[in-house]
Amino acid sequence: MIYEFKYLTCVLQTLIGKVKVYIMKAIVYRKYGSPDVLELIEVEKPVPKDNEVLIEVYASSVNPYDWRSMRADPFIIRFGGGMFKPKDIRLGADVAGRVVEVGSKVKQFKIGDDVYGICTGAFAEYVCVAENRIALKPDNMTFEEAAAVPMAAITALQSLRNKGKVTPEQKVLVNGASGGVGTYAVQIAKYLGAIVTGVCSTSKLDLVRSLGADHVIDYKKEDFTKNGQRYDLIVDAAAYHSLADYKRVLTPQGRYIFIGGAFTIVFKIMLSKKENFEVLSAKVNQKDFIFISELIKEGKVKSVIDKVYPLSQTAEAVRYLESGQARGKVVIAVK
Ligand SMILES: NC(=O)c1ccc[n+]([C@@H]2O[C@H](COP(=O)([O-])OP(=O)(O)OC[C@H]3O[C@@H](n4cnc5c(N)ncnc54)[C@H](OP(=O)(O)O)[C@@H]3O)[C@@H](O)[C@H]2O)c1
């Protein structure tokens, strides 16, 4: 209601020539629920603050973060995001596009730069973002490929390098290897010199192998917690085993990093106080974007894109990611 009022006010203001207000298309959600709550509407184009740039969005990509926000799942999201309805109706975190305006204090970017990063409200034609949340887009990537990178690749990097402290020749198991995070995790773990085992479902084994995994395990046919192998590091984007199961397959100094899966595991890890069991909460970090950009430029990391949807079909894109069928990333082409 407030949004419609603001929109009508700015249209009226423009009509009477009082102020010049620009309009753009954006996906919004005014209540929590399934992808049916997503609407494509016209809203006021944002104006960058001093430390922000305005990006013309060329592409975005969908993350579980988006559908979790949309559904308020887990419930705890409502405590910060709005108890009965979302406080912020914008959606979409990953962005790739062109800088079209810069705030007065922006030092690193200029109009015309092609960038990618993490923001709020990327499922839109324009978005404002602080300059320390973006990096220059590698030239050897399309906007769609770059839009797949931010949240998933940062998560993969921070779980392997920062928390996991991977060293060459270590045995690393990536659980959930065929998803957004997993496809980058396999490639980054290989880059860091690890011997990588990727766990995924039957139809995605070839994909995970093609990303460089030394071994693949089809979790539909084999339980990696029961096959007698030991790992120095488990990065888990699909945590559905017990802590005892994970402990059994870690080497004595081995580490376990929870990325996503059953939230009960998070509480169990916190209660267990096991030093080698950690929960990752990925943080936006420009240095990490730059690090990943270098890997992309060197051809060490690429994006795996399953499907590309237009902005008007964002609901279908979110539905597809939620179905668990996606191989790698689901992208929204905006421009
Ligand atoms: N902690 C953080 O900071 C952080 C940051 C980003 C994401 N996350 C979380 O990390 C998780 C993964 O994110 P994502 O972007 O990779 O999601 P995604 O693209 O939806 O991928 C998840 C993958 O898990 C696989 N999977 C499902 N059940 C499995 C099982 N039992 N064993 C092995 N793999 C299984 C699915 O592929 P198959 O068909 O192969 O099963 C699916 O592709 C999500 O829960 C997300 O919320 C956390």
290 domain residue, yes or no:
no
Q: What is the DSSP string of 40-78?
A: EEEEEPP---TTEEEEEEEEEEE-HHHHHHHHT-STTHH
* Index of the ligand 1 atom closest to the CA of residue 326: 43
Report d(CA 249, CA 270) in Å as an integer. 20
pLDDT at 263: 87
CATH number at residue 14: 3.90.180.10
pTM: 0.94
| Ligand 1 contact, 159 CB (< 6 A) | no
pLDDT at 8: 62
Give the Cβ contact number of residue 46 at 10 Å.
Answer: 20
Report d(CA 175, CA 224) in Å as an integer. 9
In this structure, the answer to whether residues 195 and 239 fall within a common structural domain is yes
On whether the CB atoms of residues 305 and 144 are closer than 8 A, the answer is yes
When mean pLDDT is compared across 246-250, 266-270, 277-281, the lowest value belongs to 266-270
In this structure, the answer to whether residues 101 and 204 fall within a common structural domain is no
| Ligand 1 contact, 122 CB (< 6 A) | no
List, for residues 272-322, the tens digit of each pLDDT value.
888 899 999 999 999 999 999 999 999 999 999 999 999 999 999 999 999
In this structure, the answer to whether residues 198 and 253 fall within a common structural domain is yes
List, for residues 69-116, the tens digit of each pLDDT value.
999 999 999 999 999 999 999 999 999 999 999 999 999 999 999 999
In this structure, the answer to whether residues 143 and 30 fall within a common structural domain is yes
pLDDT at 21: 74
In this structure, the answer to whether residues 119 and 195 fall within a common structural domain is no
pLDDT at 19: 64
List, for residues 25-61, the tens digit of each pLDDT value.
999 999 999 999 999 999 999 999 999 999 999 999 9
pLDDT at 11: 59
Query: What radius of gyration, in Å, describes the C-alpha atoms of the chain?
Result: 21
In this structure, the answer to whether residues 78 and 116 fall within a common structural domain is yes
On whether the CB atoms of residues 69 and 88 are closer than 8 A, the answer is no
In this structure, the answer to whether residues 156 and 139 fall within a common structural domain is no
75 domain residue, yes or no:
yes
Using a CB cutoff of 8 Å and minimum separation of 24, what contacts does 70-79 make? 70/29, 70/32, 70/33, 70/35, 70/37, 70/38, 70/318, 71/32, 71/33, 71/34, 72/32, 74/263, 78/32
- The residue segments making up the domain with residue 88 are 2-149+303-333
> Which protein residue has the closest C-alpha to ligand 1 atom 39?
201
Counting the structural domains of the chain, the total is: 2
CATH number at residue 217: 3.40.50.720
